[in-house]
Amino acid sequence: MASTTPGDDLERFWQPPPASLSRLPTLRTTVASWSSPRLRISRVAQLDADLLDGELESILHAPVSAAIDGVKSAGGRSWQPEFMAMLRLAILKLSLWESNATYGASLQNLRYRDEGKLVATGGHAGPDAGLSTVQKTAYTALVVLPPYLQSRLQDRMLESSWADEPLPLSWLSLVDLRRLRSRGGGGWRRQDEVALWKREWKRAAWELLSAAERLGALLGLANLLIFLYNGKYRTLIDRVLKMRLVYTRRAFTPNVSFEFLNRQLVWEAFTEFLLFLLPLINLHRFRLRITKAISSRAKRSSLLRGAASTLPAPIANSLGLSSLRSLAGSNKSVNDAGGDVPPAGPYAFLPGHTCPICYSTTTGPPAGLGSASAATAFADPTLPSASLLHASSGPSGGAGDTAVKIPYVANCRGRCRYCYYCIVGTLVRAEEDADDSWTCLRCGDEITAADREVPVALPAEDEEPADDDDCEEEEDDDATLEGSPERVNSEE
């Protein structure tokens, strides 16, 4: 058996390199020249970062503004623009200058990157290229100075009424110095022409400031539309300075808690339900029904009556429990007087042809009414007898303005008669006050309804012969008329 050496074994298994191996350096160069994949940053996260920065600024501005208002003299100059500029400067110094990100961007796992440097170097500057000092300084100046200058200039112009100055005839007339010289060539024109030229310059400055504000708003809108399309530069300042928000950590899983979101959704749904339900509920009647329920239970319970009597008068009046404060004493006096006497109203002495409500309106409400709705029935100025034109000469209860008009009979124990307008208005107000009935002023019974009084027709009776006395009186009258011709003539 022939022996083999290790070299022979290696030659047997060795194969020459393939021809494609020579193309490997070319492929590496080609791959290196390819552009990197497009970086996609969440647009929602960038907008949320801007909102968080605005919320932080407003939260810090509130106590500063309150402190400034406390020390500012009346009619003095407001220092809020200066303090606001200092506040923004401090926030940017502690956030952007320290970590290349604002507070809102840090909460959204974002930071600023020098996009211009990255594009200029072809990506060799690294994906984590930070901001330069020039960019930080320019960003701070553009964020702090324009709002401050705009606020101060606008306040100054408004105080001096620059917006009310006359408009120039043309923009070229503002820089035409020939209008300030006299036509003869010697000396300046009168002072009113110079004053008019200055006033036109003030109005032109106001118009330029307004145009700059409108132009800034228009450019901001255009930048927002472009940002929503490609998601690169959130604000116009970021686009000018080539500052782009990128992720701080690539592999980052946000720990999102939906507890606040769920609570907010439940609260909004509950609020919408209340806004839909509350217009359908009569809160006044609901409160009155609760008060009535408490009062009815308190009348049957000595414990609740004692608790109601200990309440202060304003609280008892607001809860409608003022009548319970004297309920115990009134019940005691009623029990002492005896329970065999049937109850009667305060106007039981009035005749049947007099309306108690009209009478009470002219003479004043009676003392000791049982319910608040009964007292308010006499304070209605729309009642016919409440006017001074219908006021009676005295509380006689006669058939004058207190007489029953369009009589209605209530369903009380005494079948008492009232005016249609009076009884219907009183029952409607009692229903609005959540009262089941209204106490009659004549018999003291409860009234829940009223019906039109039907007049009773008397049966027809045969004519009876006249008495002898009547015949004698008629004969005497005839004799008297015949004996006095003057009266007859006058009558004729």
pLDDT digits (tens, 9 = 90+) for 272-321: 999 998 888 877 777 777 777 777 676 666 776 677 677 777 666 666 66
The pLDDT assigned to 228 comes to 92
Q: 320, 291 in Cβ contact below 8 A?
A: yes
Q: Cβ neighbours of residue 85 under 8 Å, at least 6 residues apart?
A: 144, 145, 147, 148
- Same domain, residue pair 150 and 80: yes
Distance (Å, rounded) from C-alpha 452 to C-alpha 407? Answer: 7
Q: Residues 111, 234: one domain?
A: yes
What CATH number corresponds to the domain at position 414? Answer: 3.30.40.10
B/e letters for 208-218, b = 16+ CB within 10 Å, e = fewer, are ebeeeeeeeee
Specify whether 101 is located in the same domain as 221.
yes
| Residues 200-237 pLDDT 10s | 888 888 888 889 999 999 999 999 999 999 888 999 99
Q: Is residue 484 part of a domain?
A: no
Q: How confident is the model at residue 338 (pLDDT cuts 50, 70, 90)?
A: very low
Are residues 291 and 244 both part of a single domain? no
**Residue span of the structural domain in which 144 resides:** 37-259
Is residue 26 included in any domain, yes or no?
A: no
Say if 107 falls within a structural domain. yes
Report the mean per-residue pLDDT for the chain. 74
In a domain, 30, yes or no: no
Tell me, yes or no, whether 243 and 301 share the same domain. Answer: no
In a 13 Å sphere around the CA of 71, the CA atoms on its Cβ side amount to 7
Is residue 462 domain-resident? no
Residue 436 resides in a domain = yes
Number of domains in the chain: 3
Name the residue among 350, 347, 352, 340 with its Cα closest to residue 369. 347
Q: Is there a single domain that holds both residue 304 and residue 222?
A: no
Range list of H helices, 34-72: 43-71
Against a cut of 0.85, is the pTM above it? no
What are the start-end ranges of the H helices in 79-166?
80-99, 103-107, 115-120, 133-159
Does an H or E element contain 446, and which?
A: strand 446-447
Quick one: tokens of 469? Answer: 């006395």
Q: Is residue 12 part of a domain?
A: no
Q: In whole angstroms, what is the distance from residue 223 CA to residue 58 CA?
A: 24
Q: Are residues 276 and 241 in the same domain?
A: no
Three-state DSSP class for residue 452: strand
Does one domain contain both 410 and 308?
Answer: no
The pLDDT score that the predictor gives to residue 481 is 39
Do 122 and 209 reside in the same domain of the chain?
yes
- Find out whether 321 and 299 touch, Cβ atoms under 8 Å: no
Do 188 and 73 have their domain in common?
yes
- Tell me how far apart the alpha carbons of residues 384 and 365 are, in angstroms, rounded to a whole number: 16
> Nearest Cα to 449, choosing from 461, 457, 440?
440
Inform me whether the pLDDT recorded for 426 exceeds 70.
Answer: yes
Same domain, 72 and 163: yes
